[in-house]
Structure 1
Amino acid sequence: MIYTDWLYWLFVFVAVVTYYIIPHRFRPLVLVASGITFYSYYAGSYVFLLLLEAIAAFVLIHISIKKKKHWMYPAAVIGVVLVLGYFKYSNMFITTLNDLLGFLHQPFLPTAEQIVLPLGISYFTFELIHYIVERKRGSLPEHKPASFLSFLFFFPTMVAGPIKQFQVFYPQLTARFQLDHALIGVTRIGIGLFKKMVLAGTIDLLAEPVYSQAGIASSDTETLWIALIAYTFVIYFDFSGYSDIAIGTARLFGIVLPENFRFPYLARSIAEFWNRWHISLGYWLTRYVYFPLGGSRVPTYRIYVNLMCTMAVSGLWHGAAWNFVVWGLFHGLMLCVHRFYVKQIKTKLKPVPRWLKPGTTLLAIGITFFGVTLSRAFFILPVADGWKLVLRLFGLT
């Protein structure tokens, strides 16, 4: 793990000190240089791919605005999506196509084994799309190219987010050193490391039965439920730990990043869960997928389609395999059911007596947690194995 490497923390210290001792106008350059150095060390020559992609997108959107070349705006978006698609989804596409054409008794296309997914490219792509769209909309403050690159190559968020917004990030580049920022930053880093290395690492031992087909086959129903619940907490502590470390490191630079988790397992509905879980991703999906599809301003059946499509994109973003798509559709279905309940059923029910509300709140939390936990079967395993796990959980096999 990057964050257990002492050299990384020495790098952070040098970057932070350099950031504060130089004039404000050079700070973006420090962030660009540190980001490129960080990415080069951990991902090698792929840094040139990200640089080329960023520069090309910046030039295209600049020409689109200044020269009224409107076709360059969609070209920039499509370009960055195609880059992500090639590196992340080529093998998924080829494998699926070969499976569908299995009657030929030979691969229709060879699997591109040499394609390696560049570190953090999913986060990089989503932030770049955000920048392109908001720049086209005219909602970004005036800035120089170095500020744009510092936004994309801000190394604390390059590996696992949170997904930033340029208009929030950019004004903070002139902040002075404040002791409270540093203390908050160090504290958040400590909390994040504790979550990842102690809590996630320890609870992970309980989750081992659901990591393989053999473990599923050899475990009883009770053990599998314990393991899947444990995995649900492993995911939370591991991922929120990453976010804490990123948020804490950014604070050392005087930069406040968006919170990514707010006690998601206390959510009373699946809609509330997505307002508490990976919040920056939920915001991005809502603004750049759900709203462009029509959001909630369309006929009812279209709203459900929009929810399913948005969560399918969420699943694909998480991983290049069909089980992630199934996981996303599972959440989309839960969102549709929740919306139907709120719009068609809840409004017709009598108000809950005050003395019953604590009980109904606990029940709502329990139902939501149950649905989220069950969906993890398709997050951790291929579709067939995930389905076997679900059947075993309910004693059906």
Structure 2
Amino acid sequence: MIYTDWLYWLFVLATCILFYVVPYRVRPYVLFAGGVTFYTYYAGSFIFLLLSEVIIALLLIYWASKKSSKWIYPAAILGAVLVLGYFKYSGMLIETLQELFSFINQPFLPTVEQLILPLGISYFTFELIHYLVERKRGNLPEHKPIGLLAFIFFFPTMVAGPIKQFQVFYPQLQARFQWENIPYGIGRIGIGLFKKLVLAESIKLIAAPIYTEAGIAQSDLSTLWIALIAYTFVIYFDFSGYSDIAIGTARLFGIVVPENFRNPYMARSIAEFWNRWHISLGAWLTRYVYFPLGGSRVSQPRVYFNLMCTMTVSGLWHGAAWNFVVWGMFHGVMLCIHRFFVKEVKPKFPPVPKWLKPGTTVLSIAITFFGVTISRVFFVLPILAGWELTLRLFGLK
């Protein structure tokens, strides 16, 4: 892991000091140079891919400013999506086609070597798309091209987010140094490292039986349930630990980036869960997938369709395998059920008495946690193995 490398923290210290000693106008250049150095060290020549994407985007933006054309921004966004698709999903596509053709006993000649996924390309692509869309809408502050480069190559969030917004990030480059940011940043980094290295790694030992089909076959029912619940917490401490480290590191530079997790397992509904879990991703999907599809301002069947599409994209973003698609669709179904209950069922019943509300709150939290936990089956395992585990968990096999 990058964050356990002592050289990384030495790099953070040197870059942070340089950031504060240079004039304000030079700060974006420091962050850009720091990001390029960081990425080159850990990802090698893939830095040229990311630089090429940003440079092409800047050229298209400049072209759009000189020549009115409706296709320039969509072309830039499509280009970013295609690059992500090639590196992350082409292998999945070829393997799927091969399986389909073998099922009908027909040869499928094209093959693809296992591509190396560029470090952090999912976060990079989503932030670039955000920038392009908001630039097209005219929602960004005036800035020079170096502003985009500093934003995209801000190394604390390049690998594991959170997904930033340019209009929030860029003005902070002019902020004065504040001593209180240092203890806060160090403390937040410490919390993140503790979550990742102590809690997640320790609980992972309890979750071990569900990581393999052999482990599932050799475990009894109670062991499987305990392992699945443990895995649910492994995912939380792992993801939120990375976010804490990124948030704390960014604060050392006086930059506040979005919170990504807010006690998600205390959510009283699946909708509330997605307002607490991977918050920056949920906000991005809402803004650039759900709303463009029509959001909730359309007919109810269309709203359900929009929710399913959005959560399917969420599943694909998490991993290039069909089990992640199933996981995303699982959450889409839960969101549709919740919306149907809120809109169609709940209004037909009288309000819950005050003395019952604590009990209903606990029950709501338990039901939400149960649904989220069951969905993890398809996050950790391929579809068939996940289905087998689901049957075992409910005593159906």
TM-score by length of 2: 0.99
1:1-397 to structure 2, matched below 5 A, reads 1-102=1-102, 103-104=104-105, 106-113=107-114, 115-397=115-397
Deviations 1:316-357 (A, max 9, x none): 000000000000000000000000000001111111111110
| Structure 1 residue identity aligned to 2:222 | E
1:66 to partner: Cα distance: 3.2
Task: Report the Cα distance in structure 2 between the residues aligned to 1:3 and 1:202, rounded to whole angstroms.
Answer: 18
Q: What is the percent sequence identity of the aligned residues?
A: 71
| Structure 2 residue identity aligned to 1:219 | S
Preserved contact between residue 162 and residue 259 of structure 1 (Cα < 8 Å): yes
Task: Report the Cα distance in structure 2 between the residues aligned to 1:294 and 1:119, rounded to whole angstroms.
Answer: 33
1:248 to partner: Cα distance: 0.1
- For 2:225, what is the secondary structure of its paired residue? helix
| Structure 2 residue identity aligned to 1:55 | I
**Aligned residue pair count:** 396
Task: Report the Cα distance in structure 2 between the residues aligned to 1:359 and 1:350, rounded to whole angstroms.
Answer: 16
Task: Report the Cα distance in structure 1 between the residues aligned to 2:219 and 2:109, rounded to whole angstroms.
Answer: 39
Deviations 1:60-81 (A, max 9, x none): 1232233112211110010000
Task: Report the Cα distance in structure 2 between the residues aligned to 1:133 and 1:157, rounded to whole angstroms.
Answer: 20
Task: Report the Cα distance in structure 2 between the residues aligned to 1:394 and 1:61, rounded to whole angstroms.
Answer: 55
Task: Report the Cα distance in structure 1 between the residues aligned to 2:99 and 2:187, rounded to whole angstroms.
Answer: 50
Moved over 2 A (4+): 103-108
Task: Report the Cα distance in structure 1 between the residues aligned to 2:312 and 2:109, rounded to whole angstroms.
Answer: 26
Q: Give structure 2 stretches of 5+ with no counterpart.
A: none
Task: Report the Cα distance in structure 2 between the residues aligned to 1:150 and 1:327, rounded to whole angstroms.
Answer: 34
Larger deviation: 172-181 or 78-87? 172-181
Q: Give structure 1 stretches of 5+ with no counterpart.
A: none
1:375 to partner: Cα distance: 0.1
Preserved contact between residue 97 and residue 108 of structure 1 (Cα < 8 Å): no
1:105 to partner: Cα distance: 5.2
- For 2:332, what is the secondary structure of its paired residue? helix
- For 1:12, what is the secondary structure of its paired residue? helix
Preserved contact between residue 90 and residue 112 of structure 1 (Cα < 8 Å): no
Task: Report the Cα distance in structure 2 between the residues aligned to 1:307 and 1:21, rounded to whole angstroms.
Answer: 48
| Structure 1 residue identity aligned to 2:24 | H
- For 1:163, what is the secondary structure of its paired residue? coil
- For 2:356, what is the secondary structure of its paired residue? helix
Give the alignment's Cα RMSD to 1 decimal.
0.8
- For 1:179, what is the secondary structure of its paired residue? coil
Deviations 1:339-382 (A, max 9, x none): 00000011111111111100000000000000000000000000
TM-score by length of 1: 0.99
